[in-house]
Structure formats: C-alpha cells, structure tokens
C-alpha cells in the first residue's frame, strides 16, 4: 500500500528493536533494526545502579570483570547488523560509569 503511494511504511518496535525501512549500499530495500531508545536508556540506568551497588561490596578487579560480563551479555543480544551505533553508545556509557565507580572515593572532610 505504502509503496503505491511512494511513501515508506511506518516503523515498529518488537523485542527491544526499532524496525524501520532503509536501503542497502546498492540502493535495494532493506528492513533495518536498531535498539529501541527506551530499552537502551533502561539498560544503562540498570547498569549504573548496579555499578553504584557493586562499588560498595566488590573489590576493583572483581567489579571490572563482572562489568565486562554484563556488557558482553548486552552485546550478545543487541549486536546485530545495522545496530553498531547504539551498541557503541552503550559500550561508551557503560565503560565510563564503570571507570568512574572503580576510582577510589576521596574521604569527606
């Protein structure tokens, strides 16, 4: 229907991905997928909360190994074709939070 009118069909969200219309490098039609922004933000929020809790009861090396496992687990699900920008965004922010939380806290005077 949309093709006859010269319009793109609307995108939709399914299983944490936004599905939308795009083109390949050769110009052919392709359904592309990217992480839903709400899911990305919720995942980062959950990761940040975990970092804040883990900071109190894990030693630095253990926390870094565990954070790596969490990031790899996220990528095992979300790292698909056409989703590398959102995966890179997740890696950047998760790594940034991990490094900040792994730093020793300065004593309050």
Structural domains in the chain, sorted by start: 2-102 (3.30.43)
Cβ distance 104 to 56 under 8 Å?
no
Q: What is the pLDDT of residue 105?
A: 67
Sign of CA dihedral 25, 28, 31, 37: positive
The pLDDT tens digits along the chain (109 residues) read 556 667 778 899 999 999 999 999 999 989 999 999 999 999 999 999 999 999 888 888 899 999 999 999 999 999 999 999 999 999 999 999 999 888 776 655 6
What is the DSSP code (8-state) at residue 24?
Answer: -
Rounded Cα gap, residues 62 and 35, in angstroms: 29
């Amino acid at each position: 229907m949309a093709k006859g009118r010269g319009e793109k069909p609307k995108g939709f969200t399914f299983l944490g991905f936004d599905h939308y219309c795009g083109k390949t490098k050769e110009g052919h039609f392709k359904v592309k997928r990217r992480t839903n922004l709400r899911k990305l933000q919720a995942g980062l929020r959950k990761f940040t909360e975990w970092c804040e809790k883990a900071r109190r009861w894990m030693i630095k090396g253990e926390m870094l190994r565990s954070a790596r496992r969490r990031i790899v687990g996220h990528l095992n699900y979300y790292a698909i074709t056409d989703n590398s920008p959102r995966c890179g965004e997740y890696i950047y922010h998760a790594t940034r939070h991990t490094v900040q939380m792994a730093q020793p806290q300065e004593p309050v005077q």
